[in-house]
Amino acid sequence: MKVAHQVLSVSFGTDAHFSPLRPAVGFGDTIAFSSWAYRPPYLPETISIAVGTNSDVLTEPMLFQILFGQRPDRYPTEKLQPLEHSVGLREITRVELIGPYANCLSPELQAVIDTNQMKLRVGMDYCVELGFDREEQGKQVDFRPELPLIISW
């Protein structure tokens, strides 16, 4: 499945991380937020993962960006994997985070919001809404309360 934007990966204090969103045209190697370089031992020394300096703000998602990643549909032919999802989903076209602190943001999260690649909305509980393929089919699955996730396509 290809993804439309390059933004971040999100975690709401659990071990569940959403896939990093891949580069949109025109974003190149830029990082929207202030960050520090995480150098895990499994990567070459010259490659790092940018981690947002807001990582101590527990009311916000953890921000990180992998500059060496690319959209799966842009892989060389020999590395291509199947891109057809069994339910026909092709592209993430909306990312919206809902939470009680959505109106009081760190500069790092505000910088990501300012890229217009994701939205924030104030709500009583934390939740992630993902929209696929411009939500043209008008379908939705709400995984709450087991998982704070709503998927629309």
Nearest-Å Rg of the Cα atoms of the chain is 16
pTM of the model: 0.72
| Residue 24, CA atoms < 13 Å, CB-side half-sphere | 14
Mean of the per-residue pLDDT values of the chain: 82
**Continuous segment of H or E residues that includes residue 149:** strand 149-152
pLDDT at 124 over 90: yes
Q: What is the pLDDT of residue 17?
A: 32
Please give the share of the chain, as a percent, with pLDDT higher than 70: 81
Q: What are phi and psi of 134, to 5 degrees?
A: 55, 15
